[in-house]
Every structure is written in C-alpha cells, then in structure tokens.
Amino acid sequence: MKFSLEWLRDYLDTDATVEEISARLNAIGIEVEGIENPAEKLEGFRVAAVLTASPHPDADRLQVLSVDAGDGGEPLTVVCGAPNARAGMKGVLGLPGATVPSNGMQLRKSAIRGIESNGMMCSVRELELGEAHDGIIELPADAPIGQSFADYHDASPIFDVAITPNRPDCMGVMGIARDLAASGLGTFRPASVPRITGNGPIAMSIAIEPGADCSAWYGRSIAGVTNGESPEWMQRRLVAAGQRPISALVDCTNYLMLATGRPAHVYDLAKLGGGMVARRARDGESVEALNGKTYTLDSTMTVIADDAGVHDIAGIMGGEQSSVQADTTDVLLEIAYFDPEAIGVSGRKLGLATDARTRFERGVDPVFLDDGLALLTDLIVQTCGGEPSEVVRAGSPPTEPKVIAFDPALTERLGGVRVVPEEQKRILEALDFSVSRDWKVTCPPRRHDIEGPADLVEEVVRIHGLDRVESVALPRRDGVARPTATPQQAMERRLRRAAAARGLHEAITWSFLPVAEARHFAPEGEDLWLLDNPISEDMKAMRPSLIPGLLSAAKRNADRGAASSRLFEIGRRYLRGADGASDERTTLAVLLAGERDARGWVGGKARGVDAFDAKAEAMALLEEAGAPVANLMVMGEAGPQFHPGRSATLRLGPKKILARFGALHPSTLAAFGLDGPAVAVEMFLDAVPAKKGGGSFARPAFLPPVLQPVTRDFAFLVPADLPAGDLVKAVRGADKVHVVDARIFDVFAGAGVPEGYKSLAVEVTLQPGETSFRDADLKAISDKVVGAAAKLGAQLRG
C-alpha cells in the first residue's frame, strides 16, 4: 500500500522526518518496503511563463515560444507542439539536463526544424502526474516564476508499506496514522465527518434479500452532479498511491477507500430500473465488469441488482452497464458491509482481485457506514456539486463489541518486555480500545484480528516498539551440544549433496497443483486432498507426486530455449490415509528432459535421455540414502504415468517399493505440453529401511584395502528370458565375504549359442582379506559362483 507524507499529515499532526516515520513504522510492525521521493524525478523542472508564441516557420503544428524561466536571464526559446500553448500562460519548463519521468529521455538543447529549442514545456503525463496529454500543464496566474516545480507541486515523499492480512484497519491512511500517534509520533486527527442534510427521499429503493452475504447496505442519491476531472490535489494523492485518476465521481470513491479503508460504489441512476437489491446470484447469470470482462456467476455469490439484472459483483467490482460517465447527472451511492469469507470465496472462484475485495475479505469497519457515506457525499458535492437525498438503510452491521479480560502482567510473560500498566492502558486507549478499572478491554469492531489476551499483548508490545524487545538466547545445558538433526533430516542433506554432485539442479515447486495435473498422478483408487480456501484454482489440489511440478519447470525451461533439464526436488507428497486422514510422505523426485549428450564431431547427432539414465540416478541416490542396492529387485508396474515398456520399480521383496523410474508415457508428456524425451525417478524415502540395531545403511568412511583385488570372468549360457540382474544378484551372493562386485560386460546370442539361450559374460571382483588368495582359494570361490548360477539354470560355457 502506498501513500504520501502530505496525505498522512491530514490525519497525523507531526513534525517527524521521513526517516523517523519510516523507522517508527517498522518498529510497530508496519514494514516499509520502500520510500520514493518524487521531487528527485522533478529535478530540473520549474515554473515558467510564456511571453510570446508564434507559428514555427517550417512546421504547421509547432510553435516557437519565448519563455521566462525566472532566473533573471534572457528569455529562452522553446519549440512546442501543444495546442494550448499561448502567450501569457504559466506552465512547467524542463531545462536541458533534466530527465523526463515518463520515458527517461534526457533533455538537451537541440534544433527542431532549424530552430534551437532550450528545453521542453511539459504535459501532465510526461511528468507522471496523471493521464492528460493533449496539452501542456497550465498553472494558476499566481504561480511564482522560477520556483522549482517539485516545491510548487508539493512533491511529497511516498511510503510503500506491507500490511499483513490481520490488519485491515491499516488498509487506509487514517488507520496508519492512528498507529503512529499511539506510538508517540504526533497527534491523531480523525477524519472530520460532515453533517449532511438530505432534502428529499432517495430516488431508488434498496433492500437485502434473505440469504445474501450482506448484513447492511446504506445508500443515498445525489441529483444534478457534474462529472469531470477530479481536483488536482486529489489526483496527486491518488497517483502517489498508485491509482489512475478516472473521473471525479470514481476518484471520490477511490479516495475514500484509500483514506479510510472503506470501499464504496457509485451508480449512474439513469441506468437503473426498479428497486436495487442485494441478493444471491442465479446460476448462469453474467455481468460485464468495469475491467471489460464478462463473468459468469453462481448461486454462492452475492450481487447488487435491479429488475433488469446484475449491476455489481458485491464487494469485488462494479458493472460496466451502470458505470458513471462524463454525461452522468444523477447518481446512487452504495456503502455496505459484506461477509468477509463469502467475498474471498467469490473472488477466488472468479479469479478477480481488486482493492475492494482485498479490504472486504479481510474485514472492514462495520460501524463506519454512516460516517463513510457522509464523507463520500461531501467529497462528491464539493467536487461535482449536486443535491443529496436522505440516507436509506437496509439491514444492520455486526457492531457488538468484543470484551476481553486482560492481565497487564501477561505482557512481560508473553512479550518479553516490561511495560508499566499505566503505559499499557494509554497504548490501548490510543488505539481506540476501552479499558475499565478491572481491566476489561472493549475492542473496537474494526479490529477483527483481536480474539484474546495474547492479541492485546501484541498490540502493547508492537506500539511500545518491537525493536525494544531484547534478544534472549534459549537456555542450554553445559557441555557440547548434541546433534539435533534427525536421521531423516541427515539423509535428506546427504541426498541433496549427492544429487547436486551428479549435476542435478535442485528445484522447489509448489505443494499445490491444478486438479487435472494432480489427478493424472494420483494413486489409482485414491482421492485427492482439495483445499477449501486455495490461493487460486490452479493451486487447489495437494500434490500426490513431485513429478508434476518438475514437469512444469522443465516445460518453462524448454519454452525459453533450454535444450535439456536435469532437476531434482526433495519434498512431501500428500495422500489420503486409510482412515481419510492426511498422509504426508517424504519423497525425492528426479526429472531428466531433452538432450543427454549434445551433438558433436565424435557422437554425431544429439542423444536424448532414456530409461537407463533414470535407473542410474535412482541406483546412485538410493545407495546414498543407505538402501541395500545389491539386494534390490527390478520389477514392472511403475504406474500409468510411465511408459509400460521402458519403466520399472526397485523393490526390497515383491511388495516393498523403494523407487520407480523410467521414461514417461507419451500421454503424460502431452498433458504437460512437453516435447521430446523425458524420464523420471520417484524415490520413496519413507520406505528406505533402517539398519538393524539402529542407524542406517549409510556407507561408513572409506578405508582402502591393504591387498589389491582380483578379477575373474565367467561366461554362462542362460535361458533367453532370464533377467541379467538375477544372474548378477546370484553371483554376488555366492560368497558375500570375498565377492565385492559383479557386472555384465557382454551379451551374445547367435552362432554357437543354442536356440532359446543367450550368453552372459560376468566380471567378478574378488577382494582378499588379510592374506593373498591361493589357487585353492580362487577355485573354491569360482565353484561357489558356478553353483549359484546353476540354481538359475545357467551353465558355464566351455
């Protein structure tokens, strides 16, 4: 939220500097994200008078001006194309060296159609003071020639603050001023509410239908208004707050919202028919909103409508059909209290975020209806004229105050800072709380965030100054602290280092997915966890897998020209437990997409990733996690998201799945818009077994053996359908003391190999212990290897 120092001083009587205000805002919990000084952008621009104006000799649309810059020197020659430039007017002159705020152009002396121009007469848009650009700025006749335009314009510094969701009372400048005054930085000056005397009945009846999420709606009509541009002072403040001035009527409602935090709406009365009513929308009703888009509504949403149809998505955005225009003469004002939760739900369904919705869904002040309507009426009458009617009220807002029993000693126990009771009482009363002698605290209705004594402690501590709370270390026992990381956390750290060392890039993706993407990866027969209050419809389902997030990341990379992606993520996936409760599983996912090897003079064409790349990553990372990779079984059924012939699972026994890997199914790639090859790994870290007796299967520190290993090659005839991995596993298990590795180095089928068989050549690595192998030792081990292979139907080739 942005506001100018000039605006703040309407509600805060203070001589504090910008730096002091900024420091105090941070100290009381209103974070200052930035401070902008418009005077810096207006450096080099000054008030000037046009002495003469004559047509340019070589350009029909240009004039040659003689301008008095107020420096006591000779008048300056300026070439200008503005239609309103004329002798006798005063405007804003940009001198050579100044930078135009709207486009960053630095002014300099230059010849325009043969005549030297010494600067530029500026328009409102060029100085970013508004949208008008059909002529240069015209200043009043009493504007002092030669004065810096920043000083004349009162270019006040602008604060940009972050308002936390629990502080809707600070969504207006007046609320921020109240907090600053409570902290001792000046005196609070609340808005002076005028007394408006209506001379007649409202020109339109208003009502609230049962079931509408609107507890109160106040309104009045104003006849005979003249809509046009809002006053310069109002436009200046709106621009400082990041609002675009539109018209006087609309600017008045925006000004009220930014000043007090109270949204309001103004209708063109001539475009309404019959009575106005707050009601639930009917399924299928639609409305063209002020942003030019048409929204289809349902019966959960509250709208403001007349006999002809919907004119306003209640609390979110008005409709185009009844919007005020330049020729509007009679208006209807609306100021209401809508249910915060309902506004939030409707806004998310429609995907519509507005300033009004932000305030209503956080909770506006329910007792500020009459005052807000009076302030808005006064702004419009002063700006646009007109004759207001009496106020008509439908419903009543929830104004019952909350009373909390409070113990001042709680501030020191919970907040860690000592504040005397008298000061606590002063702070609470300065924030508009009422404190009785027995410390019964009555909360103002606008403070929806106050629920109990702990919230009152927070109020006292933040106004006293969060920077005055001492940093106190937690108590600890004497001696060396024990490690605090759990075995699970230690494993995750090892895996992150190992994955990064293998050239993978860590990604952190959302825990929420679009429903369609989540369903694609949901386990068969299991429901998804859907959020009742999602950030958006694209983040409604809790992820059942980490792979969708990595696929989306790879898609973004590919769209930006990346030839390949090598990504990994460690996080939680969310499943429904047997009893319907949330079940979080720690998971590691890897995605390889695109090229594995780039094209080159040795390999020729580029080679894409394949299932064996995924298997290599899975085996390496499972070994790092401490899984007994030598005992793993490679089996199918990786899931419908994977290619059925190019994927598998890694298991300890037939039922315990540690990981799944392989090429992704073409339908999966199509669903995520990814072209080219992509393979994935999903490791279920919660399934990695702990080592018997405690600890894990993590490898101990490497100690090189004293004696060098011995290798022996074996060639076996095996049935053609025997998986090579089964033979390797059998060979490794033949002698668990001396056989330290076994790998296939050749596969052959053809001449010399019987039909229905294949030849598998295995290299076996043997590691001696304290003494070197003798021939008898090697023969005994070889016999064990051959015997283990024979149990699978393998025969040693001659």
Same-domain status, 147 and 162: no
Please provide residue 4's backbone torsions phi and psi, each rounded to the nearest 5 degrees.
Answer: -95, 155
For residue 197, what pLDDT is reported? Answer: 87
Rounded Cα distance, 705 and 154, in Å? 82
Q: Residue 124, SS3?
A: coil
- For residue 198, tell me if it sits in a domain: no
Residue type, 613: D
Let me know: does 219 contact 406? Beta carbons within 8 Å: no
Does one domain contain both 680 and 783? no
Nearest partner of 245 among 102, 132, 127, judged by Cα:
132
Is residue 631 scored above 70 in pLDDT?
Answer: yes
The DSSP code sequence of 238-258 is HHHTTPPP--HHHHHHHHHHH
Q: What is the CATH number of the domain that holds 492?
A: 3.30.930.10
In a domain, 147, yes or no: yes
- Claim to verify: residue 507 and residue 648 sit in the same structural domain: yes
Question: Dihedral (C-alpha) 734, 735, 740, 741: value to the nearest 10 degrees?
Answer: -10
Contact 627, 658 (CB under 8 A): yes
Pairing of strands 564-576, 505-506: parallel
- Please tell me whether residues 172 and 285 are part of one structural domain: no
- pLDDT value of residue 100: 93
Strands 12-13 and 120-121 turn out to be unpaired
pLDDT of 692 reads 59
CATH number at residue 755: 3.30.70.380
Indicate whether 372 belongs to any domain. yes
Nearest C-alpha neighbor of 267 from the set 213, 204, 185? 204
No. of helices (H) and no. of strands (E), the chain: 20, 41
Measured in whole angstroms, the distance separating CA 502 from the mean position of its chain's CA atoms is 31
Mean pLDDT of 228-238: 90
Q: In this structure, is residue 476 part of a structural domain?
A: no
pLDDT of residue 291: 92
Residue 459 among known ligand-binding residues: yes
C-alpha closest to that of 517 among 553, 556, 555, 548: 548
Residue with tokens 């325009």: 112
What is the average pLDDT across 57-80? 92
Residue 714 belongs to a domain? yes
- CATH number, domain at 245? 3.50.40.10
Q: What are residue 747's phi and psi, to 5 degrees?
A: -130, 130
Contact 577/566 with Cβ under 8 angstroms? no
In one letter, which amino acid is 421? Answer: P
The C-alpha atoms of residue 271 and residue 308 are separated, in whole angstroms, by: 10
Residue 104: is its pLDDT beyond 60? yes
Residue 266 amino acid letter:
V
Q: In a 10 Å sphere around its CB, with 0-12 CB exposed, 13-18 middle and 19+ buried, how is residue 115 labelled? A: middle
In our burial notation (b when 16+ CB lie closer than 10 A, e otherwise), range 1-39 reads bbbbbbbbbbbbebebeeeebbbbbebbbbebeeeeebb
Is 171 found in the same domain as 143? no
Number of domains the chain contains: 6
**196 within domain boundaries:** no
Mean pLDDT of 479-499: 88
Judgement on whether residues 117 and 87 belong to the same structural domain of the protein: yes
- Per the prediction, the chain carries an average pLDDT of 91
pLDDT score at 579: 65
Inform me whether the pLDDT recorded for 109 exceeds 60.
yes
Mean pLDDT of all residues in 773-778: 93
Are 629 and 529 in the same domain?
Answer: yes
Return the SS3 of 441.
strand
- DSSP track, 561-593: T-SEEEEEEEEEEEEE-TTS-EEEEEEEEEEEE
Give the DSSP H or E segment for 719: strand 710-719
Does some domain include residue 442?
yes
Residue 427 and residue 411: Cα distance in Å, rounded? 13
Helices (H), 241-368: 248-260, 340-350, 355-362
On the question of pLDDT at 199 being above 90, the answer is: no
CA–CA gap between residue 348 and residue 535 (Å, rounded):
7
Are the C-beta atoms of 90 and 50 separated by less than 8 Å?
yes
Please give the Cα distance from 445 to 365 (Å, whole number): 6
Identify the CATH number of the domain in which residue 24 sits.
3.30.56.10
Nearest in space to 660 (alpha carbons), one of 636, 644, 677, 676: 636
| pLDDT at residue 541 greater than cutoff 60 | yes
**Same domain membership, residue 628 and residue 555:** yes
Output the pLDDT for position 580. Answer: 63
Q: CATH number of the domain that 46 lies in?
A: 2.40.50.140
| Model confidence pLDDT, tens digit, residues 693-707 | 555 545 566 677 889
**CA separation for the pair 143, 579 (Å, rounded):** 77
**Residue 135 identity (one-letter amino acid):** G
Q: Which residue has the tokens 């890694």?
A: 650
Q: What is the pLDDT of residue 702?
A: 66
φ/ψ of residue 707, rounded to 5? -100, 145
Structure confidence at residue 700 (pLDDT): 60
Residues 215 and 134 reside in one and the same domain: no
User: 323 near 287, Cβ under 8 Å?
Assistant: no
Pairing of strands 276-280, 206-208: parallel
455 annotated ligand binder: yes
DSSP states of 634-670 as a string?
A: EES---TTEEEEEEEEEEETTTEEEEEEEEEPHHHHH
Residue 112 identity: I
**Structural contact between residues 556 and 546, judged by C-beta atoms closer than 8 angstroms:** no
Enter the pTM of the model.
0.67
User: CA-CA distance, 223 to 102, in Å (whole number)?
Assistant: 38
The answer on 390 and 448 residing in a single domain is no
Q: What is the DSSP string of 85-147?
A: --TT-EEEEEPTT-B-TTT-PBP--EEETTEEE-SEE-BTTTTTS-S--SSB--B-TTPPTT-
Q: pLDDT tens, 147-180?
A: 999 888 877 899 999 999 999 999 999 999 999 9
Phi, psi of 46 (to 5 degrees): -140, 160
Report whether pLDDT(481) > 90.
no
Average pLDDT over residues 668-685: 94
Percentage of residues of the chain with pLDDT beyond 90: 75
- Could you tell me if 69 and 144 lie in one domain? yes
Q: Are 329 and 223 in contact (CB under 8 A)?
A: yes
Domain for residue 216, yes or no? yes
Tens of pLDDT, residues 636-650: 889 999 999 899 999
Cβ–Cβ under 8 Å, residues 321 and 229: no
Range of the domain at 181: 2-37+157-188
Do 580 and 628 belong to one domain? Answer: yes
Helix (H/G/I), strand (E/B), else coil: 725: helix
Handedness of CA 42, 43, 44, 46 (dihedral sign): positive
